[in-house]
Each structure stands twice: as structure tokens, then as C-alpha cells.
Structure 1
Amino acid sequence: MMRWWLKHEKGNAASPAPALVAEGYFLPESSESLLAADHRKRLLERICQYTALSQPQFDQLYLDPIHRYAKYVQQLPASESHHHAYPGGMLDHGLELMACSLKLRQSYLLPSGAAPEDQAAQTDAWSAAIAYGALLHDIGKIAVDLQVEYQNGELWHPWHGPLNKPYRFRYVTGRDYQLHAAAAGLLYTQILTPRLLDWLSGYPTLWGNLLSLLANHYEYAATLGELVLQADRVSTAQNIGANPTKALQAPTRSLQHHLLTGLRHLVKNEFKLNQPGAAGWLTENHLWLVSKTATDKLRAYLLAQAVNGIPSSNIAMFDELQSHGLVDTTPEGKAVWSATVSDEGWQHRFTFLRLQPSLIWADESRPRCFEGTVELVADNTVPRGEAIESALDRPQATSAKETPEPLPPNHDFDYLDDLMDMLQETVEHEDESSAQGLKSSTASPREAPGLAFVDWLREGIQSHRLLVNDCKAKIHIVDGTFYLVTPGIFQLYASEHPELSAGDDKTDAWRRTQRHFEHLGVHLKRPNGQNIWTCTVQGPRRKASLNGYMLQNAETLLSPVPTDNPFLNLTY
């Protein structure tokens, strides 16, 4: 068994001699002592296996930052009452995230889209950046969430260096839960040496992704951010007794992120403002969006982006926007405001969602403010079309969940092997399902054209180039699987691949593609053996019908599968 975790790091003092420590205080330990615990040795072994580096390289790139991290976090917990809420929990969580993220990283070639020789040359740098992001993503908590004091009453701040005297800690009452992400910038240069930072900064894409992650801007951290988020969910779920497999399959972006992104897109690119017939009015202090118009457009946009979990009811959508703090709440505690818009002899009353303009534009320049007036009226009624929605559409209240009890410091860590095995099984399962669902890339010549069409579908859906659940889309989600509208989807494919046409006969091209797809046998057949399923489309003014194919396994194109299109219903 390798014993490198017991090596004495240069400049890292050994554990101080036993001293008289008051009750409730912890004695600082050396990093070697902290990392010598059996469960941490096992995690370090996993991390070393996943990097596949020589011992000197591993010591330099991974072990040295881990020792520095251990000296700072000591016996501090990762949270007050959620995950890893016990002495030493921060160190355990950091090591688990490193191991999980490196395991997940094995399924990716980075940077995406680069030439194979460039990916090979940058392998070690990307692996290290992912591991550093995982280790440091919560490091700011020790600076702002916890108050740490020495036995003499002096407060400790991590920018003064590691703890060196007996200490105790408590969580700051009324703390800002978003602040620890910003505080990471105070500390990561104390964990990562200038030499490591020089190395990473030589890869601009990697460097930008890592800095975005450490600043909590996961939307700009690309795959690096996604891997750390997945690893964080797995480690947290395993520790609190939840299902880590489900956590691994959870969306990498929160619903709040999607709602805000959608609102920003619509306001900046699609909504007319400050005129009769507009979707909103901008005043100096508020952005007023017509409630039903904004909500319907937002839902349609998110469905087209294949976002999962979008409420089909406007009332439920109002609740989501309000619960995430994206819209202002009325004095009555509701999301919808009633106000009158007046401008040069024109006046109309609307129900609005009221937003803070900074949510949409941040530091960007804004459109000119409305020169008329928006005046609140006392009666905050919901528009008729929204009021008639059944109360049954509202999300049902769930019983309050008990806060998990903090785990004792000597709890069983046998779950670590299960955790890593679960990651291995998940990766293998994904590979198998892709191979089984769409057959092999070494398929027969007869199957190759159909597989090429499916590959085009997959790439288009995952890149959002092909719309899903949009009014103009040729792809929808029905009964939990992909519904391919025919002949539209095959005609679109043929138009993008003119080489398929024999002479000028484009009709034969899309029909041949449709037949090749059928020969794959990856679609569901109706009970009567026919291939084509009919759906009714219920719009606000008229009803129509569509014909299409239903896939057997939707996850071969995208996982998780988006929500069903609420406007389509199978009629067989």
C-alpha cells in the first residue's frame, strides 16, 4: 500500500505537543495527521488512481494543494445542519468532491471540440483544474459563514494563515448564504501555489472556466462547472442519506437559473417595451411585465430549450418566480400586481409581474424609461384567464422535512466504496444504453444512413439547434419520449444534406431517410402494428393534428428527458 499521505511536507509542522485545551476547543493538527484517517486514505488512493500520474507528479499537482487545504479547514464542518455537518466535514466533502469529479471527468475529452492532439496535450491541466474547482468551491465558508476564535478570545481569519492555536467555532447568525462563493477569491491563492496558477493560466479556455467556477458563475464554467456541480450533488446526497444516483442524473442548472435566463432573453430580444401593445414598461425603479403574456412566452421559450420541470399552470409559474425571488411580492404576499399605464391620452389597466431592472440588465445600459406613468390600483385582481385556473393546478404543499441530524465524527465511512462503485456503474450504464438504444457505430451498411439521421437528431437537440416543444418545432415530448413529426423532420434533414438527393428529386431523399429510420427499429409501434402516431394540438384559437414517430428510448438522445409538451395529446 502506498504511504505517500504520511510523507512530511516541507514547511508543514508536525502536530504540536499536547497542550492544556479548554473544553469545547480543538487543537490544530498537522495535515499529515488529518489525512491519516482511514477513510481519507481511501479517498486519496482513489484520487491518485483517477489521475494516473507518477508519484512525483501527483505529489506536486494534487497532494501539496490537499495538504494546504487540510491545514486551513482543520476540523471545520461543511454546513451547520445539512451535509457533512460534523467536525472535519469540510475536509471530507472536499476530498469526496475531488474523487467524484475526477471519476466523472474520465468520460470527457477536453477542451470540447479541440483537435485530438490538443486534448491529449492538455489532459493533465484540465483534470487538475476540475479537481481544484471541486476542492475549493466551498472554501469561502471558513471566511464568512463561520466565526472562529482562539482560546484567548482572539478571532481567526484565514487570510492570516492556517490555525495555529486551540480554537472553537460557531456559525454566524443571519449570514448571507450567497457570500461564501464570493469569498473564495480571498483564499484559493493560499491553496494553489503561484507555479500552479502560472501553469493553468497558460490555457485561456480552461483558465476562464476555472475562474468563473470559483466566482460562482457556473453558467460560464462550461463542462468544468457541470462536473463539479454533479460531484457536489453526489457527495451531498450520499452523506445525508439521499439517492446519489438520482442526484447524478439531476439537471446541472437550477430552475431559477433557467427562469432568469429566459426572462433576460425575452426582455432583451423579443418583448416590446414602453408603447401600446407592449409586453412591459420600464420605469426608473421597476420593470413591469404583463403577467399572462410574460408567463406564456417564458414557458414557450423554456420548453423550446428542452428545460425540464416547467409548470404548465400560470399560477404555479407565478409561485415559482416568486419563490426564487425573481419577482417582487405585493403587500398581500402575491406575485401579481394591478396597475394602470397612462401616456398622452392613452390609458389601460393590466396585471403585472414586477421585477427589479438590475435582474435583467445588471451593469449593462438599459432602454430609456417610460415617460408616462404606471400607477398601482388598490384591487390586485388576477386576470380572468388566470383566475379560472383550478386551485388543483397549484403545487401541493409537502410536509416539512426534518433537518438531518449532524453526523458524529466517528461515523461509518463504508459508503465511500459504494459511492465510487456507483459512479463506475453509472458511466457503464450510460455507455451500454447508448449502444443498445441506437445499435453500434459499426452497424451494417443498411443501417448506417438511419444511424446518421439519429446522430444528427442527437447533436441538434443537445446543442439546441433543433427546437423541442416549440410551436414551429418538428420534435416534441409526448408521453415521456421524443415525438418526431413526419414528414417535417425528415424533410429538414434532407434539406441540410443535399448530397442525399438523387438528381433534383428531393422527395425521394426524405422518403429514403424515413425508411432508413424505420429499419433501425428504435421507434414504438402502435398496438395495431402501425408506425405512425397521431397527436392533437390544442392552441388558444384552433385545434390541429400531427403525425409522427415515438422513440422507444428517449435517453439515447437526451438525458434527462424534458417535460411533455402540454399542448399535444396522443389520439392514436
Structure 2
Amino acid sequence: MAALLHDLGKPAVDQRVTLHRADGQSVGIWDPLAGPMTDVPHCHAYTVTYRPRRRHGFHERVTSLLVHHIMPARGLCWLASDQTLFAQWVATLAGDMNEAGALGEIIQEADGLSVARNLGAGDSPRVAPARTRPLWERLLTGLRYLLDQGELPLNRNGAAGWLVGDDLWLVSKRAIDALRAHLIAEGHSGIPSSNDRIYDTLQEHGILEPYGERAIWHTTVAGAGWSHELTLIRIPVRRIWAEPDNRPGYFEGTVTPRAPEAREDNAHEPTEPDQNDAQRDPVGDLPSPTPAAPIATDNTPPIEPEAPRPDNEYVPGLEPASASDSRQDEPRGDDDGPTDAGSRFLQWLQREALARRMDVNTPHARIHVVEEGVLLVSPAVFKDYASQNPDHGSWEYVQKRFMKLRVHQKRPDGTNVHRYLVKGARRQSVVKGILLPDTAMVFSEGVEVALVNPHLQASR
């Protein structure tokens, strides 16, 4: 029943279901919350379209309101007789996979395989044989999915893309890396590890509009009070959303193409810092410690923060495009046990701390000791690991496997990312990361634990 009902809320909030008479004339929009479709007189057929600007994940929270139309009261009472089972069942329908236990994991795995099979990912041994769709079609479908689900946010500072007129502009490396990781996670094989290969495929089928002979556009993206020089790919909006009513709102700013500088190599995609990373990374925000004290102490006076970096400057922990393109996003090894990517990341973290190869409590540090435990700046620290261990999977995969270890502290609202205010001499900023409540998870026996960083304070 969890499998059958897990997307039940979509017709209520994500889709617009139009009812028709036998002669094809419309008899209105069906509201599932008002009752079954069969209660509407003269209804012989229906058509379905997706609502524009729908809220990501909202349908999961609506599902429980419709369950009684499908499942009889006797069945619900039987499930409720086992409170532990019932709690997992309800959490699964609501999309709360942190509380759904084994049942939620089964439904997630089955849902992923179902989507992969529908997309034609039949080369994977986990999926039943099916007609394999051409690569360009899978890439386009994957892009539509990521945009539809909000995995590639749009039209704001730090977004993955901007909709301007008839064009959708996407941050090149960020979008293609996310697309590759999504397709591999759903069981597709034969996905190129090179971004250039993916660009060529999209360009050949008219999905990507090139800049001359190159896929990459050098642009200036500007909004209210902010501006970034970014490398983007340009996609005609009709290739993503054929119906104008289904398109999101337009960007209230500008995307201005510019000629690449002479030092920029158009043959290869330049390393593009993740804007979200730039906002999360404490570089330039944390007060710098004195040179003689690489670890901040309680008497370390806060001094003037470093000047902000240019938007296109290399950020430590962001791997160059060549390193990202040369690795497969799926790991090689077991998904559980000591060879799991999450366990290997934790072991790497402990070794780096033991050898004092990682800064602690400094402006560029990925590790900060706070009153609540140890804060790992995310995703920067996972990108550091993936850059050094490219055969262990993408940083997204490593972070996901690490969260599976459940050694981190969740926030009261159930989310995983903690926010800390960074108090400088003249300004405040925010650093985000994963909180480990036990310092021994990083600083193993025999390693001196740094003092609490006095410049970081948890944001409630």
C-alpha cells in the first residue's frame, strides 16, 4: 500500500486534471480533495497537465488526506494496530525518509528503479530489460526532472540558472554534474564522464545553443545588488517547457554575454566556483588567527576579515573540471561496511586531523570546533575528499553515504544543515555545515582537540 499510494497527492496539487464529456467538451477541473472523479456527472475522459510553479515535495504531505478514498477503514485500522509499523508507513507516504526506516528505503529504491525503467535504463543489471532511449533523450528528460523538482533552482542569487526571454541559462558545470549524478543514480549506464561529450550530444540535437562552435557562454549575470561573471550553457526554453503556462517566472535581472578574455581557453570549460559554496565558505568571513596560533583560542582577538574573493577565483576544495570529468559518479566498492564511501570519508577525516593536514578554526578551515561539537563545512569538505579520491564517487554521493552513518546531529526541524553566525570586526556572515556532536568522531584518541572557536555562534 505504501508503494501504491506514495504519489497519490500529485493529482491534487501538482497536476491539473480536466474532465471531458463523451463529445470531448470540458466539464471542468477535477478536485481530488472534493471526492472521486466518478462522482462528477457526464465525465467520460480526462486530460492531465502539470501546474506551473508547483511546490517541490508538497504532494507527499497531501497524500495522507486522500488515503481514505483508496484504502478502506478496515485496512487502516489493521495498520494502526502496530504503532511502529504504522509510524513508518505514515512517514513513508509523507516523504519523511528519516523516520520511514526500512520501509522507506524499500519504497525509495523501488521508485528509483521504476523511473529508470520508464526512462529506458535497461543496461543496468538491476533493471528489467527495456528499450534504451537515445542518450540525448535521457539527458533532456533528466534536465526536465531536475528543474521540475527544484534540484536546479532558478532566478535568484546563487541559483543554478536564470530564465530570460526565450532562453534558459544554466551554470555549465553545476548543471551537467548534477545531471550526470541523477542519471547514474537512477540506473543509467553509458553516461559520459566528460562534460564535453555531454555538451556535444546536446548541441547535436538542438537542445543547446552554442556560442559560435563552443558550448560555453561567458556571461555576466546581474540582479538587485549582485553580479557574477559565470560560464553558462544556453537552452531554448521551449525544449524544457513546451507549454508557456508550465514555465516558471522570468528572472528580474540580466544575463549579458561577453567575449572571453584571451587567457581563457574556450576549448575547455573553466573551473566555475559553486555560488552556494562561495556563500557557505567561511573564507574571507572568519576573523584570521594570529600567525603563531593556527588554532583559534578563547583569547584570539577577532581582526579585520580578508577582502572578498572575486566571483571567479578558485575556491579551495572545488575540483577542477578535468578532475570532475575524469571520474565516474558511482563508486567502486561496497555500499556498506568499512569500504563504504561514507565510512572512508570519516576515516580520511580522522587521518587528516591526526596528521594535522587540515586547518581547524581558521578562515579557510573545513573543520570548526563549536560548543555543540564539530562543524564540517559542507559541501566544501566533501568536495575536498572527492577531489583527492576520485574513484570513491562524486562528492554528492560521498555526502549522501556519510549521512547514512547517522553520526551527525539533526536540527530541531529535522533538517541536516546547521547555520552558524561568523562574528567579524565589522560584519557578520553565515557558515553552514554538518554537525557532529561527538568530537571523538574527528579527533581520535591521542589527538589534541582544538578549543571552541569563539567567533562562531549557532543560529537558531
TM surpasses 0.5: no
More helix by share: 1
TM-score, reference length from structure 2: 0.34
Which structure is larger by alpha-carbon Rg, 1 or 2? 1
